[in-house]
Structure 1
Amino acid sequence: MPVIAVALLMFLLALRIWILEPMVVESNSMTPTINPGTIVFILKPAQALSSISTGGLVVFDSPTDGLPMIKRVVGQAGQTIEIRDAQLYLDDVPALEPYVDRASIDGTYFPQTQVPPGTVFVMGDNRERSIDSRDFGLLPVEDITGFVLHAGQQ
């Protein structure tokens, strides 16, 4: 029986290191989608780099303090993003974002930006409180360390 327990422990450890990792969210930058204290599961990038999509939630180390961040991909390579009066436009089409409280960010503007190859534009769902690509610029795809598998309301 001890051999089975050791093997199970090794399997779980390998799973966490290379494939799937739990993470406790500490910030409110993704509310209402993910509230502080929520545990989410992160799929490591080697298993999912091809799954980057607009609307998906990615994990990366903050360019400012190196701590893990979760943000939503709102623009991919070749797409144009812009924010006019708190409304996100993707390729000049208003994005459907029911999770964003536009009243709290009324009047917000971000100039039209073309997303170059090898990068994504990321933003938090709590636009008023989020530090994201509007602040630190485009995120290189190679800096993505994981993908959120499930995060409540999406």
Structure 2
Amino acid sequence: MAGENRTLREWIMAAFVATAILLICRYIFFAPYQVKGESMYPTLKGNELLIVNKFIYKIKEPKYGEIVVFHSKEEKDFIKRVIGLPGDHIKITNGKLFRNEKEVGELYIANKIDPSTSFEEVVVPKGEIYVLGDNRPHSEDSRAIGPVDEKEVVGRAELVLMPFSQTQLLEP
């Protein structure tokens, strides 16, 4: 009988420790994110469940091409691709994206911007990033909302978890 009570206590303690580890991972390191809309098509088609690394930008800065989740001023979260970092000069001329006067090759976009479209040059302020959706004609991004404060970035999208048929690591 005493052995059974000890085994039960050990199982309860193991379950408690496992739950604590999972909660720490969930609230400090990782978070789920449900993709809404098609602004990141074809990379993300919409309705995917992603795992977002919340800790990564506490130890390093965002990089070009990374897919980030951030809080918008409209009190909802957006997911976009990092195009510009602090100090970068970003512009769109004749439908082509330029960063610091060099055209940016973007193999991941489906629908290019209308060739007649141009956007004035923007210099990305210190502490902010410039983000665009991969589906440019159907994306509310830095062209509309301006650069994003790095403090509003939740984290970097790392993994498409569901649907299982589309499970993949997200690489810049």
TM over 0.5: yes
Which residues of structure 1 form unaligned runs of 5+?
none
Shift of 1:103: 4.7
Equivalent of residue 90 in structure 1, options 93, 99, 109: 99
1:122–1:34: structure 2 CA closer, same or farther, 3 Å change rule?
same
2:34 aligns with 24
**Other structure's SS at 2:138 match:** coil
CA–CA distance in structure 2, aligned partners of residues 51 and 140 of structure 1: 12
Map residues 101-112 of structure 1 onto 2, 5 A cutoff.
101-103=110-112, 105-112=114-121
2:47 aligns with 37
**How many residues are matched?**
152
1:67 aligns with 76
Equivalent of residue 16 in structure 2, options 6, 31, 42: 6
CA–CA distance in structure 1, aligned partners of residues 97 and 113 of structure 2: 14
Which residues of structure 2 form unaligned runs of 5+?
1-10, 161-167
- Aligned residues: percent identity? 28
Bigger CA radius of gyration: 2
The structure 1 segments of at least 4 consecutive aligned residues displaced by more than 6 Å after TM superposition are none
2:138 aligns with 129
Structural RMSD (CA): 1.7
TM-score, scaled relative to structure 1: 0.89
**Other structure's SS at 1:101 match:** coil
Equivalent residues of 1:87, 1:102 under 8 A apart: no
Equivalent of residue 156 in structure 2, options 144, 147, 150: 147
Shift of 1:76: 0.6
